[in-house]
Amino acid sequence: MTWRHIIGVLMQLLLVSARPNWSWGIREGLTLLFAIALFLIELVVLAVLLYLAGLIVVGKKRALFSDALIIALLGTVLSTLFVIFLPNLIAFLLIVVTWLILIKRLFETGWLGAIAVGILIIIIYLAILVLLALVLGFLGLIVKWLTTMPL
């Protein structure tokens, strides 16, 4: 082997490694697209819940949908970072305090108002969850009944 041959092999390796790897398949692309879509849907649902709770607790003048969207976005991003980088208990405490601070600052309310908004969000969320479970359960029973019915 000569130096010229070794340099040629190294150049080929560099060129091959410098080429982008386009082996990213459709499965990975759909997974990323699904994750982004799920994040955006959750963000909008959370913003609507925040807005509704804010309307009830602090009133229409201080509870704006744009503020609710900002609270939802910042709260979600910061909560995710806390969960990734901190131990569970510390992350949980920081998450609760962060959400309350965001609600307090952007909805221009006190600590009790922020806590009331947080509790009301949880109540509304659980009510929607129970109603959705009932509707889907009944739909499942109807579909099962229709598929076992003789023609």
Please report the pLDDT score of residue 74 as a whole number. 92
- For the chain, how many structural domains are there in total? 1
Mean pLDDT confidence for 16-35: 64
- Residue 100 within a domain: yes
The CA–CA distances, whole Å, from 34 to 17, 22, 28 equal 30, 20, 10
Please report the pLDDT score of residue 64 as a whole number. 86
Q: What is the pLDDT of residues 43-81, one digit of tens each?
A: 999 999 999 998 998 888 888 898 999 999 999 889 888
21 confidence band (pLDDT: 50, 70, 90): low
- Residue 74 within a domain: yes
- Residue 59 within a domain: yes
Residues 6 or more apart whose CB falls under 8 angstroms from that of 106 comprise 67, 68, 70, 71
Whole-angstrom Cα Rg for the chain = 26
The whole-chain average pLDDT of the chain stands at 83
4 confidence band (pLDDT: 50, 70, 90): low
29 confidence band (pLDDT: 50, 70, 90): low
Percentage of the chain modeled with pLDDT above 90: 36
- The residue with tokens 């009830």 is 56
Please report the pLDDT score of residue 115 as a whole number. 93
- Residue 20 within a domain: no
- Residue 49 within a domain: yes
- Residue 96 within a domain: yes
Q: What is the pLDDT of residues 131-149, one digit of tens each?
A: 999 999 999 899 888 888 7
- Residue 125 within a domain: yes
pTM summary value = 0.67
The CA-CA-CA angle for residues 108, 117, 126, to 5°, reads 155
- Residue 44 within a domain: yes
Please report the pLDDT score of residue 101 as a whole number. 94
Of residues 5 and 23, more confidently modeled: 5
Pairwise CA distance, residues 5 & 63, whole Å: 71
| Structural domain boundaries, residue 111 | 27-148
Please report the pLDDT score of residue 25 as a whole number. 59
